[in-house]
Structure formats: structure tokens, C-alpha cells
């Protein structure tokens, strides 16, 4: 995201000159585009409280007393659908499900309270930098107690986190206090994963305004009791430093196919606020690649594997989200990183020994402000495409320029073309404008067999031109018009289908929380309550879910390719476990496949299901399966 403000020491009622805004982007120009520094005076900040948010004391846990949750809006009437086509309408049910009472700390720019205690760390510049705290509000999904129901972890800044245990009846109960996760924290991004391969899900968490990350080891398999213990320092994940972290997303994968989960973490950090490099207590932040040594302990191989992001931008390191994903089909997971200011990177694996930066040849980083990231086969051609969220700032066209014309250039859909190259499909698909976009996810909303797309957005202050319209922009839901139409062409139907919220959306994940056969959406709101959009109609069409469990490969099955062919000689639906969404959180690892409106659960069978494992290379196939079930595939077992 752009850097519209530079903050002075203490409380001031005037905004300083803009730090930098995004430059225009030419979609026909491949490779990395740099930005020119811009200096423009900002108008005086508002001194009132337009949102009615109550003030709090920075650094004091729980000092903010949140107002009641905002009542959910009534979804609009169900739209007319084509013949024999499922048309789901979503209902917002967070409060009814037990999630609506959560309130995230309101760090609105109209309040000059700065949670981020940069000025208190040794060696730091006395200037405060409040901006990273506005990026916060994450959620991750995982079955922490092994009962078959997906649970939810939510991070909060300057307040206790939440772990919501799914009760199996459409509701959740917060058990953070009972399991050791209720301490006051400065948390942001999170992900569940079995990093010690003991059969239960551990929890990795980044922080904003703290000097260490957190690694919560699940003690369920050892003690029989669900409880978490922070072992980040002992296991090499804390990345402790004298400088405050500005942690964003964290992702898991197996870079060397040894069966142990490795980690990539992201930071959005200005170097001017870091200690001097000669400070012996300072460890450089930024995107870090942590290799699992076995047993769940890590070593930092960022430089050794060639994925150092330092030096890309002279002002700092601005990575928001990353994904381990095998895009070129060679069996090794590559590393894609969404980086702000035209700096997104595509690192190709060299057989698990290192990565090589192929960003220019891949023709990516066309977006001006990359933030969220999701992978899916949007055009149905059998490989994974990359959607990256960015800021859309519509502007008037200059003479000779064809619309759309963009100051903030909007999202990008990179369609994989083969040979480690992408082509742009943004405007063909119609998914460029997501306002001030953050989290995003590909998912099949209507079980028709193709990938739809949802997006969270919102910014608590001025846009690049001084307006405030990003403060109340609605979420987006794009419905894929294939099959039967041009694959990959989408229509925006968020409000029509009830996926509608005008808060400051951040993390967005898809999962079937009520186990009714269609995918629901969970949205976190910075400075507000989360939204749980229950899918009330996607299961009008049939479905199949595939869960995987690795033996030679990592137990989570991350990196496994799952393919479903509904009819003989029909198209294949393709997924990769762990590659769906990565902005401050992650959805379910169980892969959900819509079988289409014509599939009869009583008479029809799914022609073929295949699971290809990353470590062993085994391909397991299953023929003529019934729909409406969850298939558990254990690596190497019939």
C-alpha cells in the first residue's frame, strides 16, 4: 500500500507531506517498475471522531472498551439464476455463531494514538510510524482438537487473541483462556500447521510492535489435553531483535521435500525506523525463509536460498504475503511473494537446493501495491493462476489513453502460460477494481465446478487524492461465468448475493464451518467486528471434499496436487493443498470440489480423483466415487 503520511514525534494535528504514492503502471511493460518519489501536501487531519470509536491508551492491554457489535445488514433478495444453476445467497451470521462480539482495536488515522512503540526501542529513530498497525486483523482455520470441525484463531493488537472452538452446531466458543492463548499480544498474521509432525496442529504467529514472533506448540498429542505453549525462541522462530517487528503473513510449505514443514514470513518495514546495522542486538527483518531441521526447529536460509528481499526498495522491505506453490509442475514448490510498490517476486525452485529470481521473465509485478494473494485454476486449463490484490484509484483518462485509466493500478490476475511465464488476464476477467484491496481467496461459491473469487477491502483514511471513499467500500464477490461461457470471465455480485460489508476488511478465508456442503467466508475487520458469511444455497449443487494426510510427505499434505474429473473426458479441477489464500491467515486445507448442477447424488459418480504427493511422488487414483462425501487419502494407502 502507498505511504501517504510521515508521522512526527508526539501528537500533531497536521499531516505531513506524502511519503510516496504509486506510479502509473503499463501492463505491456514486463518486469519490475520503480516508483518516482512524490511530495504533495496533505490537508489537515480531522480532529473529530467520525466513526464514533472510543479512544484507548496505547500500550495498555484491554484499555479500549469497544462499542456493541454493529448489527449485520439484511442481505438483498436472491437474484434470478439461470436454469438448473445453483445461486447461493450468503447470510451474515457472525453474532449468532458467537464471533460477532470480537472487536479489533480502532487505530484510525483521525486518532493520533500510536500503538507501535518505535520510539521506545534502543537505537531507533524518535519518529513514530503508526502505519503498520492499520494493516492488522488476521484469522486462520484449523481443527485444533481433532474432532473433525474447523476451529478459528483470530489475532488482535494490544488485546488478547481468540481461539474459537467449533461446537458442531453452527456456533463457536472462545477457549483461548483455557488453552494458554489469552495473553495480551501484538499479533497479526497466523497459520496452523503440524510443524513437529506429532499429529496435532501448532500455531505460528507474527507480531506488530513486538520484538519476537510466536510459535505455539500444541500439546494435545503429548498430554491428551488441548493446550498451547510458546516455544518460538527454543525452536528458532522468534527472530528476536532490538527492533520492533512489523510482521505480516506467514506461510508453510516443504521446500526440499524432506517431509518437514518450512516457513516463509513477511514484514512491511521502513529501514529509517530500524537500528543502525552495526547494532549487535539487531537482526534484519523482512521476508525470512526458515528451514525445518526436523522435529520443528528452524534455521534461517534466506540468503543461502537466494530469497533475500533486502535491497529491492531503498526505503525498506515491504512484503505482505507469500505462498509455497509448484507452478511449473516440476514437483518442487516455488515461492511467490506479494510485495508492495511494484516489487512482487517469483522465486523458482532449483530442485529444492535454492531458488532463482525469475520475476522479470515471468512478467509479474505489474500491480502497484501488492498485498493479498491467492492461487487457483480460474480459466480451467489445468494449471494454477495467481491473483494479487492492489489499490485501485480510478483517474480520468489522459488524451490518447484508453480506459480503464488508473492512478493506483488495481488488482492483477496473472494467468500461467507455461514455461515459467504469465500473461495478464485482469481485464478479461473483470477483476481489476477491488478498491483498497487486502485479503482474497479463490473458492467455488456455487459448486458449479469453477473458481469464484472474493476480496476484502477498506482503508481508514484518505486515498491518494485526498478523498475518504476507501473508508466504506464494499467487499467484492466475483462469480465465474464458466462453464458454458468463456472460462475465467467473472461478474461482480457481492451485494446481490449477500457478501456485503463496508468495514475495513483485512483477512478473508473460505471454509465449510457448518459442514453442509458449501463454502462459507470469514472476514476480519480492522477497527471492527468480523463477518461470517454463511453460504445458504451453494449446496443445491453436489460436492466432493478431499482431505489428505502425508506419511513420507508432511502430515498436513501441503504441496499435494488434488485433481478431480467429474465425467470421462471432461475437464479436470486442480488444487494444491496450502496454496489457496495467504493474507494474515489461511482457510481449510481440505479441498472442496463442486460437481456441477447436473450431478445427481443418487445416480451419478465422480469419474476420477487423483492425489499426487510431493515427497514420494506417488499418485493415488480413485474411480467412480459417490458425491456428497469427504474422501480421506493417506499417502501410500489404498
Per-residue pLDDT, 162: 94
Q: pLDDT digit string (tens) for 239-248?
A: 998 777 889 9
SS3 label, residue 392: strand
Which residues, at least 6 apart from 224, have a Cβ–Cβ distance to it below 8 Å? none
In three-state form (DSSP H/G/I as H, E/B as E, the rest C), the secondary structure along 158-191 is EEECEEEEECCCCCEEECHHHHCCCCEEEEEEEE
* Half-sphere exposure of residue 38: CA atoms within 13 angstroms, side-chain side: 18
State how far the Cα of 179 lies from the Cα of 569, in Å rounded to an integer.
Answer: 50
Q: Which of 85-89, 597-601, 612-616 has the lowest mean pLDDT?
A: 85-89
**Can you give the residue ranges of every domain in the chain?**
137-396+404-549, 560-634
CB 201 within 8 A of CB 193: yes
Mean pLDDT of 628-635: 98
Per-residue pLDDT, 76: 40
C-alpha cell at 282: 539487531
pLDDT over 70, % of the chain? 75
Q: What is the CA radius of gyration of the chain?
A: 23
C-alpha cell at 7: 508521522
pLDDT band at residue 81 under the 50/70/90 scheme: low
62/558: higher pLDDT? 558
State how far the Cα of 305 lies from the Cα of 310, in Å rounded to an integer.
Answer: 14
Q: How far is CA 95 from CA 171, 321, 574, in A?
A: 9, 29, 35
Q: Is residue 273 predicted with pLDDT exceeding 70? A: no
Q: pLDDT digit string (tens) for 371-394?
A: 999 999 999 999 999 999 999 876
Q: Is residue 205 predicted with pLDDT exceeding 70? A: yes
pLDDT band at residue 403 under the 50/70/90 scheme: low
- Dihedral in degrees, nearest 10, Cα atoms 10, 340, 403, 489: -130
Mean pLDDT of 270-275: 56
Q: Which residue has the cell 510449505?
A: 253
Mean pLDDT of 483-490: 62
Q: Which of 351-360, 397-406, 435-444, 528-537 has the lowest mean pLDDT?
A: 397-406
Element (H, E) at 619: strand 619-625
State how far the Cα of 462 lies from the Cα of 367, in Å rounded to an integer.
Answer: 20
Q: Is residue 582 predicted with pLDDT exceeding 50? A: yes
State how far the Cα of 616 lies from the Cα of 618, in Å rounded to an integer.
Answer: 5
Per-residue pLDDT, 14: 24
522-565-627 Cα angle (round to 5): 60
Alpha carbon 240 to chain centroid, angstroms: 24
pLDDT band at residue 146 under the 50/70/90 scheme: very high
State how far the Cα of 257 lies from the Cα of 560, in Å rounded to an integer.
Answer: 11
Per-residue pLDDT, 104: 62
pLDDT band at residue 569 under the 50/70/90 scheme: very high
* Half-sphere exposure of residue 39: CA atoms within 13 angstroms, side-chain side: 1
Tell me the fold of 137-396+404-549: Methylamine Dehydrogenase; Chain H (2.130.10)
State how far the Cα of 578 lies from the Cα of 591, in Å rounded to an integer.
Answer: 9
Q: Is residue 489 predicted with pLDDT exceeding 90? A: no
331/14: higher pLDDT? 331
Beta strand 630-634 with 542-549 is parallel
* Half-sphere exposure of residue 357: CA atoms within 13 angstroms, side-chain side: 15
Q: Is residue 601 predicted with pLDDT exceeding 90? A: yes
Per-residue pLDDT, 314: 80
Per-residue pLDDT, 486: 52
Question: What spatial distance separates the first Cα and last Cα of the chain, rounded to whole Å?
Answer: 48
| Predicted model pTM | 0.86
Per-residue pLDDT, 58: 39
Which residues are paired to 544 by β-bridges?
A: 593
pLDDT band at residue 108 under the 50/70/90 scheme: very low
State how far the Cα of 133 lies from the Cα of 274, in Å rounded to an integer.
Answer: 16
Per-residue pLDDT, 463: 53
Q: Which residue has the cell 494407502?
A: 637
Mean pLDDT for the chain overall: 81
Per-residue pLDDT, 278: 47
pLDDT band at residue 468 under the 50/70/90 scheme: low
pLDDT band at residue 317 under the 50/70/90 scheme: confident
Q: Which of 52-56, 252-256, 310-314, 607-611 has the lowest mean pLDDT?
A: 52-56
pLDDT band at residue 398 under the 50/70/90 scheme: low
Q: Which of 25-29, 203-207, 391-395 has the lowest mean pLDDT?
A: 25-29
Per-residue pLDDT, 75: 41
Q: pLDDT digit string (tens) for 152-188?
A: 999 988 788 999 999 999 999 999 999 999 888 889 9
Q: pLDDT digit string (tens) for 27-66?
A: 433 333 333 232 222 222 222 233 333 333 434 444 333 3
Q: Is residue 73 predicted with pLDDT exceeding 90? A: no
In three-state form (DSSP H/G/I as H, E/B as E, the rest C), the secondary structure along 295-313 is CCCEEECCCCCCCCCCCCE
Q: Is residue 366 predicted with pLDDT exceeding 60? A: yes
Q: Which of 29-33, 147-151, 426-430, 541-545 has the lowest mean pLDDT?
A: 29-33
Amino acid at each position: 500500500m502507498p505511504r501517504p503520511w510521515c508521522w512526527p514525534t508526539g501528537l500533531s494535528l497536521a499531516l505531513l507531506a506524502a511519503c510516496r504514492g504509486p506510479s502509473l503502471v503499463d501492463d505491456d511493460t514486463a518486469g519490475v517498475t520503480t516508483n518516482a518519489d512524490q511530495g504533495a501536501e496533505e490537508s489537515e487531519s480531522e480532529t473529530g471522531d467520525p466513526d464514533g470509536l472510543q479512544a484507548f491508551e496505547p500500550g495498555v492491554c484491554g484499555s479500549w472498551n469497544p462499542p456493541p457489535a454493529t448489527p449485520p445488514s439484511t442481505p438483498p433478495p436472491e437474484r434470478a439464476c439461470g436454469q438448473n444453476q445453483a445461486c447461493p445467497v450468503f447470510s451474515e451470521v457472525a453474532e449468532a455463531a458467537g464471533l460477532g462480539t470480537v472487536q479489533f482495536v480502532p487505530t484510525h488515522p483521525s486518532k493520533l494514538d500510536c500503538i507501535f512503540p518505535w520510539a521506545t526501542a534502543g537505537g531507533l529513530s524518535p519518529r513514530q510510524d503508526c502505519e503498520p498497525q492499520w494493516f492488522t486483523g488476521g484469522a486462520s482455520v484449523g481443527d485444533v482438537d481433532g474432532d473433525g470441525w474447523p476451529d478459528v484463531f483470530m489475532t488482535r493488537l494490544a488485546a488478547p487473541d481468540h481461539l474459537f472452538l467449533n461446537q458442531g452446531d453452527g456456533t463457536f466458543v472462545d477457549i483461548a483462556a483455557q488453552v494458554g492463548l489469552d495473553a495480551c499480544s501484538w499479533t497479526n498474521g497466523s497459520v496452523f500447521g503440524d510443524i513437529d509432525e506429532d499429529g496435532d496442529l501448532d500455531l505460528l504467529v507474527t507480531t506488530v510492535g513486538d520484538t519476537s514472533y510466536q510459535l505455539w506448540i500444541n500439546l494435545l498429542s503429548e498430554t491428551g489435553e488441548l493446550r498451547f505453549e510458546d516455544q518460538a525462541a527454543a525452536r528458532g522462530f522468534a527472530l528476536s531483535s532490538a527492533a520492533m517487528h512489523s510482521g505480516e503473513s506467514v506461510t508453510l510449505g516443504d521446500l526440499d521435500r524432506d517431509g518437514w514443514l518450512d516457513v516463509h514470513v513477511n514484514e512491511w518495514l521502513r529501514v529509517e525506523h530500524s537500528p543502525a546495522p552495526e547494532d549487535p542486538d539487531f537482526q534484519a527483518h523482512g521476508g525470512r525463509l526458515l528451514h525445518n531441521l526436523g522435529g520443528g526447529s528452524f534455521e534461517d536460509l534466506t540468503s543461502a536460498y537466494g530469497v533475500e528481499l533486502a535491497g529491492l526498495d531503498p526505503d525498506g522491505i515491504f512484503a505482505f504475503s507469500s505462498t509455497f506453490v509448484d507452478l511449473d509442475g516440476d514437483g518442487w514448490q516455488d515461492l511467490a511473494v506479494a510485495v508492495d510498490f511494484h516489487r512482487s517476486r517469483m522465486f523458482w525452485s532449483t530442485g529444492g537446493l535454492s531458488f532463482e529470481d525469475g520475476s522479470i521473465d515471468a512478467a509479474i509485478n505489474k500491480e502497484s501495491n501488492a498485498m493479498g494473494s491467492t492461487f487457483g485454476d480460474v480459466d480451467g486449463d489445468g494449471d494454477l493462476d495467481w491473483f494479487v490484490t492492489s489499490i485501485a484509484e480510478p483517474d480520468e483518462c489522459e488524451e490518447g489513453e484508453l480506459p480503464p485509466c488508473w492512478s493506483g493500478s488495481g488488482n492483477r490476475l496473472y494467468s500461467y502460460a507455461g514455461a515459467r511465464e504469465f500473461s495478464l488476464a485482469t481485464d478479461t476477467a473483470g477483476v481489476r477494481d477491488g478498491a483498497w484491496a487486502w485479503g482474497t481467496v479463490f473458492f467455488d461459491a456455487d459448486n458449479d465446478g469453477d473458481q469464484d473469487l472474493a476480496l476484502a477491502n477498506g482503508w481508514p483514511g484518505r486515498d491518494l487524492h485526498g478523498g475518504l471513499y476507501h473508508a466504506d467500500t464494499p467487499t467484492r464477490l466475483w462469480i465465474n461465468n464458466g462453464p458454458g461461457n468463456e472460462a475465467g470471465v467473472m461478474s461482480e455480485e457481492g451485494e446481490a448475493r449477500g457478501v456485503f460489508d463496508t468495514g475495513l476488511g483485512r483477512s478473508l478465508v473460505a471454509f465449510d464451518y457448518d459442514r453442509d456442503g458449501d463454502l462459507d467466508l470469514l472476514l476480519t475487520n480492522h477497527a471492527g467486528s468480523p463477518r461470517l458469511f454463511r453460504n445458504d444455497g451453494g449446496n443445491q449443487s453436489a460436492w466432493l471434499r478431499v482431505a489428505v494426510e502425508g506419511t513420507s510427505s508432511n502430515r498436513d499434505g501441503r504441496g499435494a496436487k488434488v485433481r478431480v474429473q467429474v465425467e470421462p473426458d471432461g475437464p479436470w479441477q486442480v488444487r494444491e493443498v496450502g496454496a489457496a489464500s495467504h493474507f494474515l491467515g489461511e482457510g481449510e486445507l481440505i479441498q472442496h470440489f463442486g460437481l456441477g448442477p447436473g450431478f445427481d447424488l443418487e445416480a451419478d459418480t465422480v469419474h476420477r480423483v487423483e492425489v499426487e504427493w510431493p515427497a514420494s511422488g506417488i499418485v493415488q487414483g480413485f474411480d467412480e466415487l459417490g458425491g456428497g462425501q469427504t474422501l480421506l487419502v493417506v499417502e501410500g494407502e489404498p
